[in-house]
Chains A and B, each alone.
Chain A
Amino acid sequence: MSSHREAPEISKDPVADSTDVYAFVSPKKPDMVTLIANYVPLQQPNGGPNFYEFGDDVLYEIHIANSGKGKADISYQFRFFTQIRNPKTFLYNIGPISNINDPNWNRPQFYSVTRVKNGKKKMLAEKLPCPPVNVGPRSTPDYAKLSAQAVHRLGKRKVFAGQRADAFHVDLGSVFDLGGLRPFNEAHLIPLAKMDGINSVQSYNVHSIAIEVPIKEVTRNGKLPSSASAASAVIGVWTTAKRQKSRMFNDATAKYESKGPWEQVSRLGNPLVNEVLIPMADKDKWNHTAPRFDKRFARYVNKPELAVLLPVLYPKVFPNLAKYGKNRADLNAILMTGIPSGVVPGFQNYTGPVESDMVRLNVAIKPTAKPNDLGLVAGDAAGFPNGRRVNDDVVTIELRAIAGLTIPLVDPSFKPDAAASAVTDGTKAKRNARGTNKFPYLNLPGGGYQTKPGTTKAS
C-alpha cells in the first residue's frame, strides 16, 4: 500500500513496482514544482550483498497531463545502467565510500534523463551518478554527504535518483487482516483489544526518482498561472514503469535479455486506487492501462467494495453509509476528474470529463506555511488531493472519504456517520520517516548496520 506490491504480476517484479507518487509546489520556491516517483518497495536496509537498485532493463517515467485529455503531454524518462568496477570480489564496496565517485564502490549506478514533449525527445543529461545505498557506518560513514552529491542541477531543474526512507505509513498487518483498524479493534466484527496502529513501512527504504522543474515547464501554456480558477493551473501527474515485451534468459551469459517495444507493467497516480479499489482480477490490467482509458474501471470507484465492507466489518458504526446506494460522485471527482469549481470554496483541480487516475495539482495554490497532514479535508488546499506532499496522511484521508465524509461535497442530503471523521489506521506521525524541507524532500534511508528488525529508526 499505497501501491506497494498491489497487483499480482507486479508484486513479483519489485524493481518495476511503483509505490508512491508525490507532486507539490516546492515549499520555498512557489515557481517550481517537485515530482517524485518511488519504486522498489519494502527494502530492508541490511539486504546485502546485492543491495537494492533501479532496474537497468526498466523504463521509468513521470508523466504530466496538462491539456485535459488524460494523456501524457510531457514525460520525463529515466534509464539506468549499472557498472561492476571489480569483477573479482563479491563485495558491494571494498572500503569506505567517501564520495559517489569513490572507486571503493564496486557497483555504481548511473542514469539518463530525457524530456518528451509532443513526441519529441530531448536528453537533458546522462551518466548522472546515483548514491550508493546506506550500507552502514563503515561503508557509508557520511551518508548525508553522499546524498547531497547525488542531487544534480540541470539548468533550473534538480534531479535525484536513489535510495530514501519511505515516508508512506500504513498498518498493513492490521488492514489486510480482514480490514482491521487497531484503534477500533473493539468495534470489529471479530473484536480484539484496542491499540495504536503499527506502521508496517517503518524502517523500510524505497528508491526515489525526484525532479524539480519550473512550473512554466509543465503548464499547458508555458506560463506561471496566477489564478487558481484557471484550467491551465491544473496538471495531472502519474508514473509508469515499462519493460520490453520479450524477456529471455540467455544461457550463454546467464543473464536476461529484453527485446521489443516497451510495455507498461506498472503505473501509479493517486494512492490506494489499484491497491484498494480495483478488484484483484483487474489489477494487472489496470497497471497496463493508460489513465485516459480509466472509464472502464470507474465502476470500482463509483461503488467501492470497501464502502460496502466497512458497515459489515464494523456493525452499527456506519449505518448511514450502509444505506447510501448512489454512485460515489465524491470519490469520482477526487480521484478521476478532479474537483470542479464550486464544490470547495476557492478551490478546483478539475482536468475535464475524461476519467483518469492522476494526482491533480493546482500549481497556482501556494505552499502552506504550516501544512496540515490531512490536506484539503482539513482546510489545507495545498495538500492531498490537491497534489500530494510527502507528509500527507493519505491513508486517513482516503479512509474517511470512502467512509462517507466527502459525500456531502456533492450530495448535501447525506449525513456522514460520526465515525467517518474519526476513522484512521492509527499509525502515528512520530513513527514515520517524515519528509524534509529540502530537495528531494524524502529523508535519508535507514542504514543496513543500524537495522534491528522492528525497531530501526528511519535515519
Chain B
Amino acid sequence: MGRPRVKAVELVTDTSRRKLLAAAGAGAAAGAVALAPGAAYAAEARRSGNSAQESVVAHIKDHRSGTISLMIGEREVVVQDRDLVTRILNAAGGK
C-alpha cells in the first residue's frame, strides 16, 4: 500500500539456500527440466521443521536482481539468492 512502506518480509541468507530449494518447489516447478549444475543441492536438501506445508508461489520480479519472493499463506518471504534465481531462470528457459 503506497510508498514509502514497510514490507513484512523475511530475509533468508545463502546459508539456508538448500532448504529454500525444497520450500520453493524449484525442482518440481521445472518439471522434466534438469537443474544442472545445482541439481545436486536439491537432491541433498532436507525439509526443516519450519518448511512450508502448503503450496508456494515464487515470483522473480526482476530477472537481474537475484531476489525471489515466495508467497505463502498471507505472507511474502523475500529471498536474496542469485544462484537460486539463476537456476530458476535457467529452468524457466527450458534449457
**Interface positions of A (Cβ within 8 A of B):** 240, 244-246, 248, 257, 259-264, 288-290, 292-293
- B1 with A260: CB separation less than 8 A: no
- Does B45 sit at the interface, judged by CB under 8 A? no
Q: Does B37 sit at the interface, judged by CB under 8 A?
A: no
Kindly identify which residue among A261, A264, A293 contacts B76, using a CB–CB cutoff of 8 Å: A261
Q: Interface residues, chain B, CB within 8 Å of chain A?
A: 1-3, 7-8, 55-57, 59, 69, 71-76
Q: CA–CA, A288 to B74, complex, Å?
A: 18
Give Cα A264 to B2, complex, Å. 9
Q: B2 is contacted by which of A244, A246, A262, A289 (Cβ under 8 Å)?
A: A289
Q: What residues on A are CB-neighbors of B56 within 8 Å? A: 259
Complex CA gap A244/B7 in Å reads 14
> Is the beta-carbon distance between B76 and A260 smaller than 8 angstroms?
yes
Q: How near does chain B come to A52, taking the closest CB pair, in angstroms?
A: 26
Please tell me if the beta carbons of B2 and A261 are within 8 angstroms of each other in the complex. Answer: no
What chain B residues lie within 8 Å of A259 (beta carbons)? 55-57, 71-73
For the complex formed, measure the closest distance between the CB of B25 and the CB atoms of chain A, giving whole angstroms. Answer: 12
9 examples of A-B residue contacts, CB within 8 angstroms: A245-B71, A246-B71, A259-B55, A259-B56, A260-B71, A260-B72, A260-B76, A288-B1, A288-B2
Tell which of A244, A257, A261, A288 touches B8, judged by Cβ atoms closer than 8 Å. Answer: A261
Output the residue of A240, A244, A246 with the most chain B CB within 10 A: A246
Excluding A245-B76, A246-B57, A259-B72, 17 further A-B contacts by CB distance (< 8 Å) are: A245-B71, A246-B59, A246-B71, A248-B57, A257-B55, A259-B56, A259-B57, A259-B71, A260-B57, A261-B8, A263-B1, A264-B2, A288-B2, A289-B2, A290-B2, A292-B2, A293-B3
- Chain A contacts of B7 at CB under 8 A? 261
Residues in chain A near residue B69, CB distance under 8 A: 260
Residue of B nearest to A296 (CB): B3
Which residues on the A side are within 8 Å of B8 (C-beta)?
A: 261
Residues of A within 8 A of B2 (CB): 264, 288-290, 292-293
A260 to B72, alpha carbons, bound, how many Å? Answer: 5
Complex Cα spacing A262 to B5, Å: 13
Name which residue of chain B comes closest to A247, CB basis. Answer: B57
Assess the B1–A264 pair: CB atoms within 8 A: yes
